[in-house]
Amino acid sequence: MNILVTGATGFIGRFLVNRLATNNDRITCLVRQPVERCPKLNKANVELKRVDILDKKTLVKSIPEVQLVYHLAGKVFAKQKRGNPYYKVNTEGTKILAQAVMNSSREYPRFIFLSSIAAVVGKNYGVVNENTLPNPITRYGKSKLEAENILLQYKRQYGLPVTIIRSPLVYGPGDHIFSRSTLLFKMVKRGIRPLGDGNSLFSLCYIENLMAVLETLRHIKIVPSDIYFVADEKPRALNEWVEIIADAEGVSSPKIKIPDLLTDILVKFGPHSVRKLINEMRSNWACVISKAREELGYIPPFSSEIGIRETVTWYKSKGII
């Protein structure tokens, strides 16, 4: 099978490409940085092409005939205060890629789009599912929802076989040292309690559990539904996640509470990743996975406890925590 992957140099993308490379598939990865700076993707059946997905002309020339597309590329953090870089990359980039894929193939390939729980969760939402009315509260979430809508329109209008996977925060070995999950693990290691009362509900997704679904979709030619939430087995209160992380790190339950005044200052003037994490800790970011379980046979192969232990072991081996 010929497979196209975007976002291959990211945390999730590297995992996926390394997993796919063990098969006899031919994998084409679209990357933004110079090819020589991607040694971790150097596999016999992996071809790297440096291209900007916003460059329509170059993109069409770079895409071979493929049977499956994994669109993982996206803008998660943006420092710019002007314009909307989230829309440019996540929405417009997805639109351009889908058009290029349709123009490059005699038969439309299956198109798997990695979206986010942020495309749905609104203010004061509880646990969400695929039927929840989306009301995203962040520019990132709004850009992902717009991208979803474009792809679903292409599915209705042109028959592009689209499947959308909405995941919450993904964690695991190999994650970026400045990611939100890494920041959470560091806070617990330093004895810092979660912001607020810690009762907000969160879903997390261990990287290997996400891989299980992405690999399953590789083998399913006709997917029953358009959208699926994928996460670990169940949502938990933030306090419970913190206890699991602390246990894996071999530290006591965090005792240090950040004063509300300092929290407000960090929300206004702190680094983007810190501001985003604080706002998320104050809200529910939880989903159920019953639809993926029923229609895709998704049963998370790893419990959250095992996933967190594996992640902590990797962080320690790299001196991150």
- Closest alpha carbon to 180 in 190, 195, 170, 165: 170
Answer whether residue 194 shows pLDDT above 80.
no
Residue 177 inside a domain? The answer is no
Structural domains counted in the chain:
1
pLDDT higher than threshold 80 for residue 268: no
Q: Is the pLDDT of residue 269 over 80?
A: no
Q: Tell me if 242 sits within 8 A of 304, measured CB to CB.
A: no
Other Cβ atoms less than 10 A from the Cβ of 299: the count is 11
Could you tell me if residue 40 is inside a domain? yes
Q: Report the CATH number at residue 133.
A: 3.40.50.720
User: At residue 223, does pLDDT exceed 80?
Assistant: yes
pLDDT of residue 278: 73
Average pLDDT over every residue of 267-278? 71
Is 150 contained in some domain?
Answer: yes
In a domain, 240, yes or no: no
pLDDT exceeds cutoff 80 at 281: no
pLDDT at residue 241, rounded to an integer: 96
Residue 234 lies in a domain: no
The verdict on residue 93 lying in a domain is yes
Residue 147 domain boundaries: 2-167
Report if residue 85 sits inside a domain.
yes
Q: Over the stretch 128-187, which tens digit does the pLDDT of each residue have?
A: 999 999 999 889 999 999 999 999 999 999 999 999 999 999 999 999 888 889 989 999
Query: Cβ of 80: how many Cβ atoms within 10 Å?
Result: 9
Report yes or no on 122 lying in a domain.
yes
> How do residues 2-36 score in pLDDT, each as one tens digit?
999 999 999 999 999 999 999 889 999 999 888 88
pLDDT at residue 173, rounded to an integer: 97
